[in-house]
Amino acid sequence: MQPTFTSSASFKAFLLAFIICTLVGSKPAQADIYRYVDEDDIVHFTDAPTDKRFKVFMRDLKKDKELRTKLKYASSVNPAEFEQLIKTCSEKYGVNASLVKAVIHAESGYNPNAVSSKGASGLMQLMPATAKSLKVADRFNPKDNVEGGVKYLRFLLDTFRGDVSLAVAAYNAGLNKVAKYGGIPPYNETRTYVNRVLSYMKSYQESGI
């Protein structure tokens, strides 16, 4: 789906059609709708963005509700234990602490001993090659792991000029994949991951945790 409109009339017609479908019970594709206006003032819409110029225009309310998960943790972990470490690393590398917490929450649920099926380890689930490039001595050591993870987030944010969504997508799918598609890769896992991290980040910001 990627309709293009060359006038405000066409744009209004699209909105009207979408609203009517919703009101009469027709079910449009359950996906976020993205939009951007090009240099010729043509409005583009899609539900599968492959260009970083696309920005969320209309949320899939059902999916958005599902992703707004309350901040819950396993009884065996204590997020407060890592509060100072996160604060120190966030300030050192200039990365929003809420974003760091959101990534940790999504990656390991604050379990410093977590290991994924792909071999990622620790609080921020660093892969062996990534950890080596970041000079992380012990991926299971919270201090080493978080320092490396935040440093990597800083690199990704700089690479994508501060675009948090793209940085998070690259954290999950890899820098090359985001560069290849010119935006968030069309993988359900990555899109779900990006939405989850952004939702967690917003929850941390609003709760002041």
Backbone angles phi, psi at 71, to 5 degrees: -75, 100
pLDDT tens, position by position, 129-175: 999 999 999 999 999 999 999 999 999 999 999 999 999 999 999 99
**pLDDT band at 67, cuts 50/70/90?**
very low
157 with 164: CB under 8 angstroms?
yes
How confident is the model over 108-131, as pLDDT tens digits?
Answer: 999 999 999 889 999 999 999 999
Q: At what angle do helices 142-159 and 164-173 cross, to 10 degrees?
A: 120
Query: How many distinct helices (H) and strands (E) make up the chain?
Result: 9, 4
Given a contact cutoff of 8 angstroms between Cβ atoms, the answer to whether 93 and 158 are in contact is no
The residues carrying an active-site annotation are 107
Which ranges constitute the DSSP H helices of 95-186? 97-108, 128-133, 142-159, 164-173, 175-181
Report pLDDT for 56: 60
Judged against a pLDDT cut of 90, whether residue 85 lies above it is answered with yes
pLDDT surpassing 50 at residue 16: no
Long-range own/partner contacts, residues 25-32 (CB < 8 A, 24 or more apart): 29/1, 30/60, 30/62, 30/63, 31/60, 31/63, 32/56, 32/58, 32/59, 32/60, 32/63
Q: Domains plus CATH for the chain? A: 4-61 (no CATH), 79-207 (1.10.530.10)
